[in-house]
A = this chain, B = another copy of it.
Amino acid sequence: MAAITEPDALPGRLSQITRSAPEVIATAELRIETGGEGFLDITAETQRFLAEAGAQDGTFSAFLRHTSASLTVQENADPDVLRDLVSALRHLAPRDFGWVHDAEGPDDMPAHVRTMLTGVSLQIPVLDGRLQLGTWQGIYLIEHRATPHRRQIVLQFTGSRAGKNADASLSTRPKML
């Protein structure tokens, strides 16, 4: 709640500015069982977290608590894209590179490299309780290890809360995006 739209649109390519009050930081943990190497869509779980948290306007962030899996935002339409992304990661960080670290199996060190290249945290803006993803974007956990693993993701929302009376100094506004 608690958001306004500027009365006059800005010139140029910048839209009107929406303002809200930072009212809450909501944090939860999402536990995922992966099926081995590949992409897992966690967009629906993320949107559910935002609904449960009563999120209105603000920022969603996710942090993966591991070093051999990662998080990314990628195409949600053609599954071939995700298959090709796995091929690309295998090519960029192959098993047979002559890694020094091999105590945890031949798939472990490539998994660390792939994690470094893709990252363990991501942030997405939220308006009216909805992730502001593009039409073709989904949120994915990428499992880089060959075998199934249990993964923990910390989900967080910082922003205004839905369903409250508007703040005295701020009023509601039409959906911007």
Task: Report which A residues bind B (CB closer than 8 A).
Answer: 6, 10, 12-32, 45, 48-49, 52-53, 57-59, 61, 63-67, 72-75, 78, 80-81, 83-85, 87-88, 91-93, 97, 99-101, 103, 109, 112-113, 115-125, 127, 132-137, 152, 154-156, 158-160, 176-177
Which residues on B sit within 8 Å (CB–CB) of A97? 87-88, 91
Determine the distance from Cα of A74 to Cα of B70 in the docked complex, in whole angstroms: 11
| CB proximity of A116 to chain B, nearest CB, Å | 6
Which residues on B sit within 8 Å (CB–CB) of A45? 12-14
Say whether B117 contacts A117, CB under 8 Å. Answer: yes
Say whether A63 contacts B30, CB under 8 Å. Answer: no
A84-B99 contact, Cβ under 8 Å, with A57-B27, A176-B29: yes
Partner of A58 from the list B75, B78, B117, B158 (CB cut-off 8 Å) is B158
Determine the distance from Cα of A58 to Cα of B129 in the docked complex, in whole angstroms: 19
List the B residue with the shortest CB-CB distance to A15: B29
Say whether B57 contacts A25, CB under 8 Å. Answer: yes
A-B contacts, 23 of them at CB < 8 A, read: A13-B32, A13-B45, A18-B26, A19-B24, A19-B27, A20-B24, A22-B25, A27-B57, A29-B176, A58-B158, A64-B134, A65-B133, A67-B137, A72-B116, A78-B103, A81-B101, A84-B109, A85-B113, A91-B97, A125-B154, A125-B156, A132-B154, A158-B158
